[in-house]
Amino acid sequence: MIATADDIIGMRAAGKAAARLLNYLEQYIRPGTSTGQLDRAAAEWTSDAGAWSAPFGYSNGSKKPFPGHICTSINEMVCHGIPSDAVILKEGDIVNIDVTPVLNGYHGDTSRTFPVGKCSADSLRLIDVTEECLQIGVALAVEGEFLGTIGHAIELHAISRGYSIIREFTGHGIGRKFHTQPYVTHYGTPNTGIRLKAGMVFTIEPILCKGDPSIRFINEWEATLKSGGLTAQAEHTVLVGKDDAEILTYESSTASDN
């Protein structure tokens, strides 16, 4: 789908809301906070912003409705972690927070992995390289580029830094719907797959780990790394342009810029 001028206005607003929500939640990330508390803070912020939470009650085909407003995935949890008062952040954890508010019918989808308190250098490096992989993908989201080229560049960077890509989860087209074509793999063959056109909007959301990237589902939603090692994810919603990509899930630091 190619976004119209109105769609772009709507997606910019939704993307900004998503970025703000994620930045807002950051203050609560410390040892002792439960992921249930993060979920309630997100629910409140979202309703105050006049938006609703796409994850809440979301059921992808056959799945049980997702019970949280956000996903909170700690350490070996690959993604789609279910917030709970029984899950408490502890010093040295890394936690991915994935938010998707819907504003005026448009979805903004973004996530980051945060260190909890003081983390090992290894954990921080995994987070940094994951963010680099995302940025490498974003830089290639321009008209004429191929999705296979984006996926290839992302995986190549991960491998060159000693990490693996978890292949079961992909980026996705997004707009009035949460998940649509094109599905954006974080691996691929250069110059293959869908060729990008200006106005396409999709997410890029690589998940990295060290070593064997095999996963196991522990319930209908939550996937964990079989090896028990750490995983990190980073995600943006991106608008393809003629000459450059626009990150929609970005909050400008200029106070006057609304």
Is 53 within 8 Å of 70 (Cβ atoms)?
Answer: yes
Site string for ligand MF3, 192-231 (x = CB under 6 A): -----------x-x---------------x----------
Identity of the amino acid at 126: L
Beta-bridge partners for 223 = 79, 217
155 binds ligand MF3 (CB under 6 A): no
Query: What's CA 250's distance to the chain center, in Å?
Result: 12
Q: What CA–CA distance (Å, rounded) separates 76 from 68?
A: 19
Nearest to 84 by CA among 33, 28, 36: 36
**Integer Rg of the chain from CA:** 17
Q: State the first-to-last Cα distance of the chain, in angstroms, to the nearest integer.
A: 27
235 binds ligand MF3 (CB under 6 A): yes
Nearer to ligand MF3, 119 or 209 (CB): 209
Nearest to 236 by CA among 141, 127, 162: 141
Residue 76 interaction partner, one of Co ion, ligand MF3, none, beta carbon < 5-8 Å per kind: none
Nearer to ligand MF3, 63 or 118 (CB): 63
Among 39, 98, 155, 246, binds ligand MF3 (CB under 6 A): 98
Residue 45 interaction partner, one of Co ion, ligand MF3, none, beta carbon < 5-8 Å per kind: none
55 binds ligand MF3 (CB under 6 A): yes
249 binds Co ion (CB under 5 A): no
Residues in contact with ligand MF3 by CB under 6 A are 55, 58, 66, 71, 80, 98, 100, 109, 203, 205, 221, 235
